[in-house]
Amino acid sequence: MTETADTALVLDEGRTERDVTERRFTVDRPAEPVPGILWTPEGATGPRPLVLFGHGGTQGKRAVNILALARRMVRHHGFAAAAIDQPFHGDRRPDDERTMSVEERRERLGRRMFGRDRAAVVDQAVGDWTAVLDALQGLDDVGTAGPVGYWGLSMGSHFGVPFVAGEPRIAAAVLGLFGWSPTRGQEGLDDLARHVTVPVLFLVQWDDEIVARDSALQLFDLLGSADKTLHAHPGRHVEVPRDENDAAEAHFARHLSPGPTPAQGT
Amino acid sequence: MTETADTALVLDEGRTERDVTERRFTVDRPAEPVPGILWTPEGATGPRPLVLFGHGGTQGKRAVNILALARRMVRHHGFAAAAIDQPFHGDRRPDDERTMSVEERRERLGRRMFGRDRAAVVDQAVGDWTAVLDALQGLDDVGTAGPVGYWGLSMGSHFGVPFVAGEPRIAAAVLGLFGWSPTRGQEGLDDLARHVTVPVLFLVQWDDEIVARDSALQLFDLLGSADKTLHAHPGRHVEVPRDENDAAEAHFARHLSPGPTPAQGT
């Protein structure tokens, strides 16, 4: 175990698979420690771009789509990548939810995300991300010199829009499967959305049964970014085509890689 | 000049630049000959996939975006590519339009596309494409064995939606910058859109000053394709980002290339 001097970050020794080292960590926070995973190139030293991954509702830090894209950012681009268990998820799941069905958990999650505690839950989640980013940038093989990306769909955008809006270290984001719904207590979201000004790739599922299509299109419309791209596909909430990982990888590679953008082939 | 026996196709000898041979052709049609350009790999023999390019209003067969993407399909994938001057454009431009400003031409174009002659103009354009496809498939280095793609934005979709809807040889399409507007005499477009069932990449400019955003989203919604993707960007009608040529190239490569789809990297 490694404990850094000036943050409450604890890392395990990790394991390496196909040139990618995966280390579990925890970051101390007033309410409870935040567990996470850091992926880096094997034997990496020195600063590098970092992509943060915020999972969706009922998922956790090692969701299959996160694992696949995180490894690609490390293996193909030499970036660091990190995911955490967001509030009430993964290792932070309340005891009484461990025996619940996904449907029961979704119903409780909806009340938490859009009920009277909404602001407190968002504050907790955004504070977690800020603390985790502070801690990870204290590591030699992450550092503060590289730009930071944020990827989060659905609940990962519920927390990600306010996080990206207020965090100047974020230089690019992948968001989506989420919308603006004033009837669900999101009156402040339009202001937050306008404060998202980094390049954004925004995903919409055309037949989303959880997020109303118009609310997602409206959130895209409200984003303050001059460089924003909407990708929409037919299908339900969880049916994002796997090809979109290619687009996300290209988005982060283009906006976070050091050096000039390569010229486009003709 | 080469004239094939059973069609009224006339090709020039062409010129080759960076491995891509460009040949001008004309195809006889009752009203007037249709001029076009065929791009093929230098020295190619035998059948191959073909991508047809339908230019936008006031443009012509050698528009810069067509030229760039056509050459890429040939150079990177060994496909054939072809573009024609659609009715009233390029070498088919009426004499009295040669001295008109772009604004004057656009105004006349609008009356032609959406006025009382709309159906006749669409029939002419679709018939041109059918005749050109018949003729090109008679060539040894194009042939009938390969699948065919169609690329056309704006006016290229105005003619492309009915062409793709009724042409079984088309296996993939890139469409967009166009919408469904029942007030402009397009009552039949919803039926046509439902008959487009091939994989479609559909482009929307979020701040399009010519095509209403909702009309474009509605056309995407109506497309009958199970595999359809919408890409939207901020900006005006003619401000599609150059990166979208990458997406179009990948779309045609994925759906028209012979052999199995390569596995996705992780």
Gap between the Cα atoms of B193 and B186, Å rounded:
11
Gap between the Cα atoms of B153 and B175, Å rounded:
5
At residue B184, the pLDDT reads 63
Q: Give the DSSP H or E segment for A220.
A: helix A213-222
**How many helices (H) and strands (E) would you count in chain A?**
7, 11
Interchain CB contact of A246 with B (< 8 Å):
yes
Nearest neighbour of A266 by CB, restricted to B72, B217, B227: B72
Q: Is the pLDDT of residue B46 over 70?
A: yes
Interchain CB contact of B229 with A (< 8 Å):
yes
Task: Look up residue B121 and give its two tokens.
Answer: 């103009």
The confidence band for A111, taking pLDDT boundaries of 50, 70 and 90, is: confident
Which superfamily does A2-256 belong to? Answer: Alpha/Beta hydrolase fold, catalytic domain (3.40.50.1820)
Interchain CB contact of A228 with B (< 8 Å):
yes
Report pLDDT digits (tens) over A134-166: 999 999 999 999 999 999 999 999 999 999 999
Residues B19, B244, B264, B252: is their CA dihedral positive or negative?
A: negative
Q: Give the DSSP H or E segment for A20.
A: strand A20-27
Nearest neighbour of A226 by CB, restricted to B217, B234, B264: B234
CB A263 within 8 A of CB A54: no
Q: Is the pLDDT of residue A109 over 50?
A: yes
What's the CA angle centered on A264, arms A243 and B47, to 5 degrees? 70
Query: How far B164 CA sits from the closest chain A CA (Å)?
Result: 20
Report pLDDT digits (tens) over B111-140: 888 888 888 999 999 999 999 999 999 999
At residue A180, the pLDDT reads 81
Residue B226: closest CA among chain A residues belongs to which residue?
A: A234
Considering only A65-79, A187-201, B190-204, which range has the smallest mean pLDDT? A187-201
Q: Does B262 or B255 have the greater pLDDT score?
A: B255
Query: Which among A173-182, B181-190, B235-244 has the top mean pLDDT?
Result: B235-244
Residue B234 has, within 13 A of its CA and on its CB side, a CA count of 13
Contacts of B112 (CB under 8 A, 6+ apart): B88, B118, B121
Q: Is the pLDDT of residue B3 over 60?
A: no
Residue B114 has phi, psi (to 5 degrees) of -120, 5
Domain ranges of chain A: 2-256
CB B70 within 8 A of CB B38: no
The confidence band for B237, taking pLDDT boundaries of 50, 70 and 90, is: very high
The pTM (predicted TM-score) of the whole model is: 0.89
The confidence band for B152, taking pLDDT boundaries of 50, 70 and 90, is: very high
Gap between the Cα atoms of A138 and A8, Å rounded:
11
pLDDT, averaged across chain A: 91
Report pLDDT digits (tens) over A234-260: 999 999 999 999 999 999 999 999 875
Mean pLDDT of B82-110: 91
Task: Look at residues B258, B198, B255, B246 and name the one whose alpha carbon lies nearest to residue B69.
Answer: B246
Residue A10 neighbours by CB distance under 10 Å: 17
At residue B189, the pLDDT reads 75
pLDDT, averaged across chain B: 91
Interchain CB contact of B222 with A (< 8 Å):
no
The confidence band for B260, taking pLDDT boundaries of 50, 70 and 90, is: low
